[in-house]
A and B are shown apart, each in its own frame.
Chain A
Amino acid sequence: MQAEATARHSDLSEKDNRALISLFSAYTVTATLWLLFATGVGLLIAFKFGAPEFGGGAWLTFGRLRPIHTNATFYGFASIALVGLGYYVAARSCGTKLYSAALAWTGLVLFNVAALAGTVALDLGYIDGDLEYREWPWWIRLIFLAAVLVSAWNLIGTVARRSSADIYLSNWYIMGGTLWGAIIAIVGVMPWYQYGLGQVAVSGFYMHNAVGMWFTPLALGVIYYSLPKLLNRPIYSYALGVFAFWTNLLFYPIIGAHHFEFSPLPWWLQTIAIVFSVAMLVPVWGGSSNFLLTMRGRIRDLIHSYPLMFIFVGVMSYLIGSTQGTLEAFRSLQQVWHLTDFTVGHSHLTMYGIISFVIWGGIYGLLPLATGKKASQLGMALHFWMALVGCFIYVTSLSIGGTIQGLDWMHGLPFIQSVIDMQSYYVGRGVGGLLMFSSHLVFAWNVWRMCYGTGAVASPLQALRAEESVA
């Protein structure tokens, strides 16, 4: 099979390869720019908790920048980066060229137009409601939906061109993620069932599924490809991966209502969400143990490879963050943590710890294979450690602070006491955030070196032939 895959690579014309490489680079570069913007905004609003007068006026007010931060992170950075990685993984693991490079460029333009228009609209106060992760005016969300549909079509077309009978697991997740992402976007934008409490139910569905059925499947697809590739060893259990795929699909969509526990949403809807939050332990533990068992006995390789270290952190965050999510869903704990900053800590442990770290691991691992240019070891080290330590400080501060906040309320203290008690933890968040943002500046430098740098290690085609396909 290995020889077969190598033979297929050589069948691909140099033109097709160059098209894939320039697409992968372009997706990565624009995603990086969105990362810098989104986390720069994040840092600014983190400071506002300690210095509320810092950055005044309508355009810089907290309530407008907060959705700009989350949407630019979600739909600018993470979506564009993951679709770029998805194209590369799909084409390489299928041993074929992209179905259509033109469609992929169209998708990239649509993603960027949506993110840009959305950012400007939110800052001017044009918003479809403070509905988490779907604040953009509806017509901008339709542009985003078009970008997702274009990507899904292109990815399916690419997989359809594969030269082997089998479809590698990565492509299950990548195709699934884009198709489900399109459904999520459609459910979120259609207005006819979104009045009053009905919209609350849709919000619960949307905010959770956007994270778990759009970003997570794409990130898992990247892990299923990069981990075996970087370790040069097959995934521990293909069957376990398939099992996790279907259980994730069956359990995850049901748990959204756990964001509205104790709300006037029907009690049974909340209870079902809690039950399936526990069921989510099955795909989460199944998936992460599959990854960890693939890494077993290879600790030396791990600590000598930053791409692998990034993915390792991503896997551990997947295990810890998702398990934490299950615990948070229990009513007894939700009573303490709901509506506190603990939730913000959890969302960063997951969106940052899982999604961003996997994206970075994938880019550091795969982009050099495409362009033949590497980032420096020092650059990757700086990025890794600042991001890891920053995220640790951030999540720890908000987890402890959020718990205190919740206990203050339960003990019936005057509300302002919980604001006062959070102050030092907000400082911790700012420090962590500063480290995280600094690491992104280094990442941008690394991306520059991998795309346009002079330190070529090999010509792209040689690099391609040197590696074997995992499919």
Chain B
Amino acid sequence: MNKLLLIAGGSTLVYACLAWTMGVWPGIELSKIPAGPGVEPLTALQSEGREVYVANGCSYCHTQQVRPLDADKVFGRPSAPGDFKYQTPELLGSERTGPDLTNIGARQPSSVWQYIHLYNPRAVVPESIMPSFNWMFAVVAEAPAGVTPVPLPNNYAPAGGVVVPTHQAEALIAYLAALKQPALPASAAPSASGAPSATGASSGEAPTTAKASASAAAAPVGNYDATKGAALYTANCSACHQASGEGLPGAFPSLKGDAVVNKDDATKHIDVVLNGLHDARVSGVVYSSVMPPFSGTLSDAEIADLIDYERSSWGNHGAPITAAEVGVERAKAK
């Protein structure tokens, strides 16, 4: 009997101590971490949306943890302990079959895009392997008052009637829109490293003078990193404006043949990419979609490559720009 007690009891005692030290005790201590500055609890609708997110296992493909690694920079600033105060159950996830969603409310603020994507992801991202959540929508003959039907592309729309989100879908999209990282106070905004200072020293670019931009404007089309420009477009723009540059009718404006993109004075084009846009009127159509600002995530050089790609693709021939010009516009906004 003593032997039995030693083996079963002894090992269980050892294990209980280790389970306390490595599981329960860190749990107790880390549960006490206060909310970081700007970290707010969710509203009732957003919380409901979070429950929809959990119930349908979204976090088996989408993480909500930004690691302090270069590979994760596209998803936002590194997650901080204070970010998780109101996150129970935790949704850090273990797989990234789809992109991280920690900051998706800032990265993709357009609820119109979110609805189309939720209904059928391939309507906006042809290569996506995310399931369709069309069962969170209803097909009705006519949208009830105050509800905007989802502007699906024709080949994804039902044969008759219009598609409207159910309450479930509305709550989920409200939750996604709430996923925004508040800036960390101690370090400067994450854009600080990417954005050159007024002297232009950080990026080694020429001083941001009008002379520099004038000489750059004279450079021939194609004098930019086309590969980088295309990759940046795919990563940041094509979800809405599509790989063809044509957008989606009624949802996202076309860049192909667009007046701003083809105008030689690129000021407006740069301003839109840097600072985003909402309720824009393009070619007589008002788009309710919000375009996010990229000043925080892309450097001047990257924005120049991106804009030059847009200005030289799909038959566009706007005059190319330089990083210096972007720097000038960025300084103006400050």
Contacts and interface: CB of A to CB of B under 8 A. Distances in A.
A194 B19 contact: no
Contact of B59 (A64, A130, A160): A130
Interface stretch (B24-32, B270-278, B305-313, B323-331): B24-32
Interface in B103-135: 121-122, 125, 127-135
Interface in A221-246: 245-246
Given A52-B129, A264-B65, A62 B57 contact: yes
A56 B132 contact: yes
Contact of B90 (A203, A341, A420): A203
Interface string B1-34: 1011001100110111011011110111111110
B69 A52 contact: no
B28 A196 contact: no
A112 B274 CA distance: 58
Contact of A131 (B30, B85, B89): B89
Q: Looking at chain A, what size class is its interface with the partner chain?
A: 35 or more
B231 interface: yes
B299 interface: no
Contact of A197 (B14, B31, B55, B234): B31
A158 B80 CA distance: 50
B231 A414 contact: yes
Nearest to A411: B71
Contacts of A387: none
Contacts of B121: 52
A241 to B, nearest CB: 12
Interface stretch (B93-101, B138-146, B253-261): B93-101
B11 A176 contact: yes
B30 A159 contact: no
The range of chain B's interface size is 35 or more
B89 A57 contact: no
A443 interface: no
Contacts of A150: none
Contacts of A57: 135
A263 B67 contact: yes
A338 B101 CA distance: 16
If over half of A's interface residues share one DSSP class (helix, strand or loop), that class is named, otherwise mixed; here it is helix
Interface string B37-60: 000000000000000001111111
Interface in B295-319: none
Nearest to B9: A179
Contacts of B4: 156, 159-160, 167
A246 B18 CA distance: 13
B7 to A, nearest CB: 5
29 contacts: A52-B121, A52-B129, A66-B60, A125-B55, A125-B56, A159-B4, A176-B15, A187-B24, A194-B27, A197-B30, A198-B27, A203-B90, A203-B92, A253-B15, A253-B22, A254-B18, A254-B22, A257-B22, A259-B94, A264-B78, A266-B30, A339-B93, A341-B95, A406-B71, A409-B71, A412-B70, A412-B71, A416-B127, A419-B97
Interface of A: 48-50, 52-53, 56-58, 61-64, 66-67, 125-132, 156, 159-160, 165-167, 171-172, 175-176, 179-180, 183-184, 187, 190, 192-203, 205-207, 209, 213, 245-246, 249-250, 253-254, 256-257, 259-260, 262-266, 269, 335, 338-341, 343-344, 406, 409-410, 412-417, 419-420
Given A62-B131, A176-B11, 14 more contacts: A50-B129, A52-B129, A57-B135, A176-B15, A196-B90, A198-B27, A200-B92, A202-B23, A249-B18, A253-B19, A253-B22, A262-B67, A335-B71, A417-B234
The 5 closest A-B pairs by CB, nearest first: A63-B57, A129-B89, A198-B31, A193-B27, A205-B23
